[in-house]
A and B are shown apart, each in its own frame.
Chain A
Amino acid sequence: MATQLPPPKRQKSNYAKSLEKPVAPEPAAPIPSIVVQFKSAEDGANLGPAINLPADTARDALQMLVNKLRGETEDPLPYAFHLVPKTPSTSTAPQSARLQINNSIQSDALNAKDSTFSPEDVFELWCEPQAVFRVRSVGRCSATLTGHSSPILCCAHSPTGKYAATGSGDANARIWDMETETPKWTLSGHKGWVLCVEWDSREKILATGGHDGQVRLWTPQTGQPYGQPLLGHTKWITSLAFEPLHLVSSSSPSPRLASASKDGTVRIWNTSTRKLEFVLTGHAASVNVVRWGGENVIYTGSSDRTVKVWSGVDGKLIRTLNEHAHWVNTMALSTDFVLKTGPFDHIGKVPKDDDEAKSLALARYKNVIATNPETLITGSDDHTLFLWPDQASASFSTTATPKKPIARLTGHQKQVNHVAFSPDGRMIASAGFDNAVKIWEGRTGKFIASLRGHVAAVYRVAWSADSRMLVSASKDTTLKLWNLKTYKIRIDLPGHTDEVYCVDFVADKVVSGGRDKTVKM
């Protein structure tokens, strides 16, 4: 007899299934109750007494609590929270300086894989207020603009965000309208590559520096040159910096311009008369970068391994900082963003005249300075960065030692190419030739995280205006937008066909230019 298949089992019908009692869900693990002490990240003060909370309090609830404790229920500020993990004595692995709380303390700290927290600790939650406005995330390339016939070497966005200017190797600079994504003006006149471009904080003058050693001024509204080129440098211009708006004296209505060059000098020009005011000599090698600080102090970093601090009033050398072991490549001030955008902030109010613009700029500057004084960070070819204390007010404080750096930021394995402070001055991003972007704490210089993802040298970084997003441009032709909560890539922006040399973040657009001669927005 052939083997017979066993008779099919009787299947339960759907109706029968529905009659079964539903299985009761497993009882959730009991949520511990923890003691939380809110601390303000600016000064470390306690915001109110320690509070008993269930551990799964969501971030929004925590935010509301902090706002209530500070008494700011009318204008609630968004907050970012983080915990500082204790380093256990037996662990040898380096701990990151902070543990971000994104969802709730239970999910991020207690249930995390290698957490060192237990529900019985008193959690000290550090709160950092974030910008009230939020910049929309960049998603895709909305426009590819051609026009330059040579690699694009530098780009800068105007203080209002309406225009972007790019300089290229074909000796032209172009101004593009950001809202309509069309080219506006072509500024020709340089005899060599246009190496750097800078806007003044009132958006009335554009300055470009070239490989021929000339600095030219232009009016962006008409696209015409603003007078004769400023001659005087014997080698190419490496960097330009405008005087901050709140320091402009009423006698000379236009801000002064500082230009640094490979010949080792920095020249300060009066832009309205186009005359040379004074020359800062003293560096023994090329001056790579110049910055004009908010206290009328000029910082210069050079290839002779020193950083010199000069007075903006008369050009006298205040002090020399020589701690670096190789060329000083790049510099950033914690007040960079505020000085660059001057009177314009996220509200978008247009000042009526020069005086109002000046007072608005001064108010914004004082706002930022009140919490933390202006600090300087310098990055160098010796793979490290130095964070320097406030140089200008050192004469008033007796205990300050302005020549000694606050911290030395090590960790990069190759030269550091670009460093940038976040607009709120809280974080520092540094890009290096070792394919990594590193994030450090802005006030103390402690290492926070390393963003890896690029496969070739990272050339530039740029922060969004609300300090929530970071975009980096690299030799591997991509731009990457980073998520600062998880320290991983948020969005990859490919599309350039050759190295990306410069990037800038405007309102909610990213402008980038590179060796493929196109500008992408």
Chain B
Amino acid sequence: MEEHRKRHGRRMDYEERKRKRTAREAHKASADAQKIFGHKAKLHHAKRHAEKVQMKKTLKAHDERNVKQKDDGAVQEGALPAYLLDREGQKDAKALSTAVKDRRKDRAAKYSVPLPKVRGIAEEEMFKVIKTGKHKGKSWKRMVNKATFVGEGFTRKPVKLERFIRPMGLRMTKANVTHPELKTTFQLPILGVKKNPQSPLYTSLGVLTKGTILEVNVSELGMVTTGGKVVWSKYAQITNNPENDGCINSVLLV
């Protein structure tokens, strides 16, 4: 072949044909890749995948060349000793003002909780009207639709006089409490409902909705007061809707 080329040269339209052929190559390759099947297809696609990976690497290298890199020799600012790393340090200028604000808040006796506002719950959503009587005409009984907490030693009032029914299926005794600093969750027994933000009626009924403050038994955490006494109960606030999830997730108020 080479000898023939040396002797007679190439065709007149050789360059034209070559140009057109290379232009068509992309389309031809794409058409082939879509049409081939079977063993040939597998081999082709594997080869193509390897090429694609290589191509991506070179593109990325080009990108990095263009971007200005931060000098690796420079170390970060704000050096802290090992025992202060992982702790939020306060900027000195703000320390005084935050300290004063904290003191003012303590004196005003406002409790800051993780969920300060909760959605209002309508009575139709909270209670289901139970019709009683021979002709089912009386409708003064209500059944609570949300999760509730009744203490140990709870006995129902005489059924004929009971106005609010708290179904056994919706009664809960344990809560999953997350410690905000340790970021670990413990399952702790509930001691009581301190306050339901919706209304004092719900607090007295023991209804557990999102935002309710509970009292939980924390003796298993092992916390101790400065006097050496073991802390055994703390407040926690519910962060989910227990009637939808079937469990109570809450955050410990330290």
Where the two chains meet, the residues of A that have a C-beta atom closer than 8 Å to any C-beta of B are 150-151, 153-154, 168-171, 191-193, 195-196, 211, 236-239, 262, 286, 288, 303, 305, 323-327, 329-330, 382-384, 408, 410-413, 417-418, 459, 501-502
B86 x A153 contact (CB < 8 A): no
Chain B residue nearest to A411 (CB atoms) is B226
Highest count of chain B CB atoms <10 Å: which of A169, A288, A303, A329: A169
Q: Which residue of B lies closest to A410 (CB)?
A: B228
Closest CB of chain B to A408's CB: distance in Å? 7
Q: Would you list 8 pairs from A and B whose C-beta atoms are within 8 A, ordered by A residue?
A: A168-B79, A192-B75, A238-B82, A303-B86, A383-B226, A410-B226, A413-B226, A459-B83
Residues of A within 8 A of B73 (CB): 191
Are B227 and A193 closer than 8 Å at their CB atoms? no
In the bound complex, residues from chain A placing their C-beta under 8 Å from that of B85 are 195, 236, 262
Could you tell me if A326 and B182 are in contact, using CB atoms closer than 8 angstroms?
A: yes
CA distance A238 to B81 in the complex (A): 9
- B224 on interface, CB distance cutoff 8 Å: yes
> In the complex, how many residue pairs between chain A and chain B have their CB atoms under 8 Å apart?
78
Measured CA separation A153–B78 after assembly (Å): 11
| Contact pick for B82, options A191, A195, A327, CB 8 Å | A195
Having A195-B82, A323-B222, one finds 4 other A-B pairs with CB under 8 Å, namely A169-B78, A195-B81, A236-B82, A459-B83
Please give me the residue from chain A that is nearest to B231 by CB atom: A325
Q: Are A196 and B75 in contact (CB under 8 A)?
A: no
CB–CB B83/A329 < 8 A: yes
Most-contacted residue by chain B among A196, A286, A323, A326 (CB, 10 A): A326
* 9 nearest A-B residue pairs (beta carbon): A169-B79, A325-B222, A153-B81, A410-B228, A193-B79, A195-B82, A501-B81, A151-B79, A325-B223
Docked pose: A237 CA to B75 CA in angstroms: 16
A interface: dominant SS: loop
CB distance from A377 to the nearest CB of B (A): 16
Which residues of chain B have C-beta atoms less than 8 A from A239's C-beta?
82
Tally B residues with Cβ within 8 Å of A.
23
Residues 193-224 (chain B) with a chain A CB within 8 angstroms: 221-224
- Residues of B within 8 Å of A211, CB to CB, are 75
The interface centre, meaning the residue of B73, B76, B85, B228 with most chain A CB atoms within 10 A of its CB, is B85
Q: How far is the CA of A330 from the CA of B82 in the complex (A)?
A: 11
Q: With A239-B82, A459-B83 known to touch, is A193 a contact of B75 (CB < 8 Å)?
A: yes
In chain B, positions 63-79 with a C-beta closer than 8 Å to chain A are 72-73, 75-76, 78-79
By a CB distance below 8 angstroms, the chain A residues around B221 are: 325
Cβ of B80 within 8 Å of any chain A Cβ, yes or no, is yes
Alpha-carbon distance A150/B80, docked complex (angstroms): 10
In contact, A286 and B86 (Cβ under 8 angstroms): yes
Task: Answer yes or no: B152 CB below 8 A from chain A CBs.
Answer: no
- Contact of B225 with A by CB under 8 A: yes
Nearest-Cβ distance from residue A431 to partner chain B, whole angstroms: 10
Partner of B79, one of A153, A288, A327: A153
Asked if B81 and A502 make an inter-chain contact with CB atoms under 8 angstroms apart, the answer reads yes
Q: How far is the CA of A459 from the CA of B221 in the complex (A)?
A: 27
Q: Which residues of B contact A382 (CB under 8 A)?
A: 222-224
> Is A171's CB under 8 angstroms from B228's CB?
no
B181 engages A408 (CB within 8 Å): no
Contacts of A171 in B (CB 8 A): 75
Would you give the shortest CB distance from A353 to chain B, in whole angstroms? Answer: 35
- Inter-chain CA distance A236–B82, complex, in Å, is 9
Q: Which residues of A contact B182 (CB under 8 A)?
A: 305, 326-327
Residues from chain B with Cβ under 8 Å of A191 in the complex: 72-73, 75
Given A410-B227, A417-B83, answer yes or no on A324-B222 (Cβ-Cβ < 8 Å).
yes
Question: Within B162-205, which residues are at the interface with A (CB < 8 Å)?
Answer: 181-182
| Closest Cβ–Cβ distance, residue A183 to chain B (whole Å) | 19
Give the docked Cα–Cα distance between A323 and B223 (Å): 10
Could you say which residues of chain A place their CB within 8 Å of the CB of B224? 325, 382-384, 408, 410
| Complex contact A408–B228 (CB within 8 A) | yes
Contact B81 A412 (CB under 8 A): no
Contacts of A330 in B (CB 8 A): 83
- Using known A-B contacts A170-B75, A193-B75, determine if residue A418 contacts B83 with beta carbons closer than 8 Å: yes
Q: Nearest residue in B to A284 (C-beta to C-beta)?
A: B184
Distance to closest chain A CB from B147 (angstroms)? 29
**B137-178: contact bitstring with A at CB < 8 Å (1 yes, 0 no)?**
000000000000000000000000000000000000000000
CA of A130 to CA of B86, assembled, Å: 40
Once bound together, how far apart are the Cα atoms of A413 and B225, in whole Å?
A: 9
Closest to A330 in B: B83
Q: Which residues of A contact B226 (CB under 8 A)?
A: 383, 410-413
User: Shortest Cβ distance from A145 into chain B, in angstroms?
Assistant: 18
**Chain B proximity of A212: nearest CB distance (Å):** 9
> Which of B75, B82, B222 gathers the greatest number of chain A CB atoms within 10 Å?
B82
The distance in angstroms between the C-alpha atoms of A317 and B79, with both chains bound, is 34
Q: In the assembled complex, which residues on chain A have CB atoms less than 8 Å from the CB atom of B81? A: 153-154, 195, 459, 501-502
Say yes or no: B225 contacts A410, CB within 8 Å. yes
A169 touches B82 (CB 8 A): no
Kindly provide the distance from the CB of A473 to the nearest chain B CB, expressed in whole angstroms: 11
**CB closest chain-A residue, reference B75:** A171
Asked whether A169 lies within 8 Å of B75 as measured between CB atoms, the reply is: yes
B92 → A minimal CB distance (Å): 9
C-alpha gap A226/B17 in the complex (Å): 69
A residues less than 8 Å from B222 (CB atoms): 323-325, 382
When C-beta atoms are compared, the residue in chain A nearest to B72 turns out to be: A191
Q: What is the chain B residue whose CB lies nearest that of A382?
A: B223
Question: Which chain B residue shows the least CB distance to A169?
Answer: B79
Residues of A within 8 Å of B80, CB to CB, are 151, 153, 169, 193
The reply to whether A150 and B79 contact each other, CB–CB distance below 8 Å, is yes
In the assembled complex, the Cα of A94 lies from the Cα of B85 at a distance in Å of 37
Q: A211 to B85: give the CA distance in the assembly, Å.
A: 10
Contacts of B82 in A (CB 8 A): 153-154, 195-196, 236-239, 288
Minimum distance in angstroms from A20 CB to a CB of chain B = 63
Q: Nearest chain-B residue to A456 (Cβ)?
A: B95
**How far is B75's CA from A191's CA once the two chains are assembled, in angstroms?**
7
Q: Which residue of B lies closest to A413 (CB)?
A: B226
Distance of A196 Cα from B84 Cα, bound (Å) = 13
Write the nearest CB–CB distance from A202 to chain B, whole angstroms.
25
Which chain B residues lie closer than 8 Å to A170 at the CB level? 75, 79
Which residues on B sit within 8 Å (CB–CB) of A384?
224
Residue on A nearest B181 in the bound complex, by CB: A326
Chain B contacts of A236 at CB under 8 A?
A: 82, 85
Query: Which residue among A154, A193, A236, A411 has the maximum number of chain B CB atoms within 10 Å of its CB?
Result: A193
- Bound together, the chains give a CA A384 to CA B78 distance in angstroms of 29
A352 to B14, CA, bound (A): 91
Residue of B nearest to A384 (CB): B224
CA distance A327 to B72 in the complex (A): 33
B5 CB to nearest A CB, Å: 60
**In the complex the two chains form, what is the Cα distance from A193 to B74 in whole Å?**
11
- Give B180 Cβ to nearest chain A Cβ, in Å: 12
Residue numbers in B under 8 Å from A410 (CB-CB): 224-228
CB distance from A8 to the nearest CB of B (A): 64
